[in-house]
Amino acid sequence: MKAFIVDRYGSSDGNVRAAEMPEPDVGPRDVLVRVHAAGVNALDLKIRDGEFKLILPYRPPFILGNDVAGVVVRVGTLVRKFQAGDEVYARPDKDRIGTFAELIAVHENDLAIKPKQLTMEEAASIPLVGLTAWQALVEIADVRPGQKVLVHAGSGGVGTFAIQLAKHLGATVATTAGTANVDLVRRLGADVVVDYRKEDFESVLRDYDVVLNSLDDKTLKKSLTVLKPGGKLISISGPPDPAFARELGRPWILRPVMRVLSHRIRKAARRRQVAYSFLFMRANGAQLTEITSLVDSAVIKPVIDRVFPFEATKEALTYVQKGRAKGKVVIAVRENQKETS
């Protein structure tokens, strides 16, 4: 099958190339999916660059890609939730990435039926950012009606989804955005928009219950000042904390390292009587099914910046790396083709 693989770690786009790869093995609980579309994420760039090579088991050459929408080709002998012909989408488990390919095998627990009203490209834009927003705002923060939530980088992939989800949960939502994206984030439901080109968010926002950070350490530290005592600072851009090491299942190796990396922000958070959490989202088909219901009822709508053809996957990565995308960038792997098994 055709795929885009990482030959060696590094920031050059020359480290990603098209290649012929063997079709994936299908275990008894796996679902083989013919990929129709794949979302492109900042995470793909971080994996390509080797930022996670000490904690995640990617050994070059490996296939890149963390979002998929497609059609079930066949299922493993123990699979009961899906059958051939089902239209599905997923964020595969972190140990089984590889959606920039014609086929991928996904564990049935990580898979969900695709939202009915969405195209494959629209569906492929959702899993990683949708699950990130869900796990931050529902699972960790337990956002309640009347609370105040700040979502940084509101025009980005996670931001566009998180604003809509936080509004659905009943929160008053603030976000940061550039001048060109103010109207976009307002349409998505942001109640307060801080144009970072004109003002500093920490000087205008106060007494927030939750901050979802996807930006740099400087922004992370400033975010503490807008939280009220008992608030929660959740970061998807680091630094990782000891709880993340426990999730990886190798605490005896990683917990001391994670404790050191996150020491300063955790200490600063304690001084302000707020909680700090690092989130590296998990694959979760059940949560994705919850998200599907919100999409099918038009509570949340995907925001797509551009769709690239499969052969332009490297160009799609370069575009995402520029950091200007409004919403998500998607690769059409199987554009305008009828499904055959």
pLDDT tens for each residue of 140-163? 999 999 999 999 999 999 999 999
Predicted local distance difference test score (pLDDT) of residue 14? 82
Amino acid at 323: G
- Domain assignment present for residue 208? The answer is yes
pLDDT above 80: residue 57: no
The verdict on residue 142 lying in a domain is: yes
Helix, coil or strand: residue 208: strand
The whole-number pLDDT of residue 152 equals: 98
Q: Measure Cα distances from 62 to 281, 329, 338 in Å.
A: 21, 21, 28
188-198 average pLDDT score: 97
Which stretches of 145-191 are assigned E, i.e. beta strand?
148-151, 172-177
User: What are the helix and strand counts (H, E) for the chain?
Assistant: 12, 16
Residues 61, 14 share a domain: yes
**Where does residue 258 rank: exposed (0-12), middle (13-18), buried (19+ CB within 10 A)?**
buried
Same domain, 147 and 270: yes
The answer to whether residue 285 is domain-embedded is no
The model carries a pTM of 0.95
Residue 130: Cβ within 10 Å count: 29
Backbone angles phi, psi at 122, to 5 degrees: -65, -40
Look at residue 157 in the predicted model and tell me its pLDDT: 97
**Residues 265 and 219 reside in one and the same domain:** yes
Q: What is the pLDDT of residue 340?
A: 38
- What percent of the chain is modeled with pLDDT above 70? 96
Provide DSSP, 118-156.
Answer: S-HHHHHTSHHHHHHHHIIIIIIS---TT-EEEESSTTS
Q: Per residue in 249-307, pLDDT tens?
A: 755 667 777 878 888 999 999 999 999 999 999 999 999 999 999 999 999 999 999 99
One-letter amino acid for residue 255 of the chain: R
CB neighbours of residue 100 within 10 Å? 30
Which H/E stretch holds residue 234? Answer: strand 227-235
Q: Is residue 89 part of a domain?
A: yes
Mean pLDDT of 73-77: 98
pLDDT of residue 60: 92
pLDDT tens digits along 315-328: 999 999 999 999 99
SS3 category, 247: helix
- Please write the tens of the pLDDT for every residue from 201-221: 999 999 999 999 999 999 999
The two structure tokens encoding residue 327:
């919403």
Average pLDDT for 209-235: 97
Exposure on the CB side of residue 109, measured as CA atoms within 13 A:
9
Task: Please state, rounded to an integer, the average pLDDT across all residues of the chain.
Answer: 94
Q: Which of 178, 171, 240 is CA-nearest to residue 211?
A: 171
CATH of the domain at 36: 3.90.180.10
The confidence score (pLDDT) of residue 130 equals: 98
| Position 339 pLDDT exceeds 50 | no
Q: Are residues 197 and 261 in the same domain?
A: yes
For 232, phi then psi, to 5°, come to -130, 125
Is residue 96 scored above 70 in pLDDT?
yes
Lowest mean per-residue pLDDT among 53-67, 122-136, 209-223, 299-313: 53-67
Domain count along the chain: 2
The whole domain housing 204 covers: 128-278
Same domain (yes/no): 122, 132: no
First to last CA, the chain: 14
Cα distance between residue 18 and residue 313, in whole Å: 9
Distance CA 333, CA 321 (A): 20
Same domain, 119 and 64: yes
The pair of three-digit structure tokens given for residue 209, joined into one six-digit string? 């219950």
Is 259 found in the same domain as 171?
A: yes
294 within a domain of the structure (yes/no): no
Tell whether 171 and 112 lie within a shared domain.
no
State the Cα–Cα distance between residues 332 and 120, nearest whole angstrom: 8
Verify that 189 and 225 share a domain, yes or no: yes
Residue 324 within any structural domain of the chain: yes
The pLDDT value given to residue 252:
62
200 shares its domain with 219: yes
171 within a domain of the structure (yes/no):
yes
pLDDT at 250: 59
Average pLDDT over residues 30-39: 98
- Give 112-129 pLDDT, tens digit per residue: 999 999 999 999 999 999
Query: Which value, to the nearest 10 degrees, does the dihedral of the CA atoms of residues 262, 39, 305, 71 take?
Result: -150
Say whether both 213 and 274 belong to one domain.
yes
Residues 151 and 266 in one domain: yes
Domain CATH number, residue 263: 3.40.50.720
